[in-house]
Structure 1
Amino acid sequence: MFKTILFDLDGTLIDSSDDIFNGVNYALSKYGQDTLAKADIMCHVGVGSLSLIQNILKNDDRSMVEDVLVTYLNYYQENAIEKTKLYDGVVEILQIPEKEFGLITNKPQSIGDKILSGLGVEASFKWKIYGDTYSVLKPDPYALNQIIAEAGVQKNEVLFIGDSGVDLKFSQNAGVASCLFKSGFGAIEIYPEVRADFEISLMNELKNIILD
């Protein structure tokens, strides 16, 4: 039985695609870069803000990358919950008793905390690990292993839910079960060799897994 339930954030608990899309295109346009379609932006989400901008720009100009990154983060900080919303069923899942919930995301803490607070779910998580909490990001398993140690559970009692190949690789690297949320927007192709232990299309379907 799973005792510790851990989630990715973007594309798993929240649909943040519109606010990320608007923030990236705002930053691109400010520096004279072509704006992009949403799909061409969202396929790079999940690997951290720096990699997001680097992958979008495809530019080795460090100064340009830094300028666009800072502009994006400043804009996004101010506009992080304009259109962002919880996926249906998330609140009900987080109310399941006798489970401990955690969050592991590559998003910066200042933005992540603002989103969780604004959507009213910040208190639901015993653990919140952000992209700037440690020196490494997913799929490095360090953050997940820290939670396992603190929770005092076995790895077979932990489930990680995410929407991308990075999340599946993260789970594999830590040796815990993974659940793919297929209604998110994360790119699966980045680690095509990794398969999820479980798959769901609706968050309410998670009940059948964690209450089994």
Structure 2
Amino acid sequence: MTNGSEVPDQWNGNPVPPRPPLPATPSPEPQVSPEPPKFKIGMPPGMDLSLDTVPSSDNAAPVPVAKPEFGPAPTPFGRPPLPTPSTAAAPATAPAPVTPPAPAANPRLVLPDGTVLPLLQGLIVGRDPQHQDGYGVSALAPLHDIERSVSKTHAVLGVSEGRVWIIDLNSTNGTFVVSPNGTLTPCPPEVATPLEPGADIRFGEYRVRVALD
């Protein structure tokens, strides 16, 4: 028995349950439109396209900016500045005469063992000193250093304009001027360092006394 359609409403005397509804048709996924291209400024009408006069925003190059130069501050109300006691012209005074240092009468080195070495003709000192050109000094003075802190050719000493000077010859442990209060002043290599009265010299750890009277 049918209900007027192709599907019977009974089967073998039993009622046929109604057909379940068909599943809903899925809705199509929305189409994603592509991202529009970035906006760029084009060339003005009538301009040659081969001329790259407008830089692209993608490759922006830093433009150097010159720093302003500031002149002197202006005077308030256009009035000239009043002279101050520090800027006022002072009467010219004659410079004080420079007193030259007293010449050393008998400069000499006094070694720890009491040996006296004269300095008037200059000395090249070291454990086994060798002659050095360019200093005008030929006398060699070997120093017996038990600690071996003195270099083979350590320094050169001389007298000029009444003062004793010393030049370190790139020694390993350095040359130092010892002031009367015990302050150490290193002597730069290959630079003449003058000695003050009462100062001693230390070659590495080997200390000698300088007598000037």
Normalising by the residue count of structure 2, what TM-score does the alignment of the two structures yield?
0.21
- Which has more radius of gyration? 2
| Structure with the larger helix share | 1
| Structure with the larger strand share | 2
Normalising by the residue count of structure 1, what TM-score does the alignment of the two structures yield?
0.21
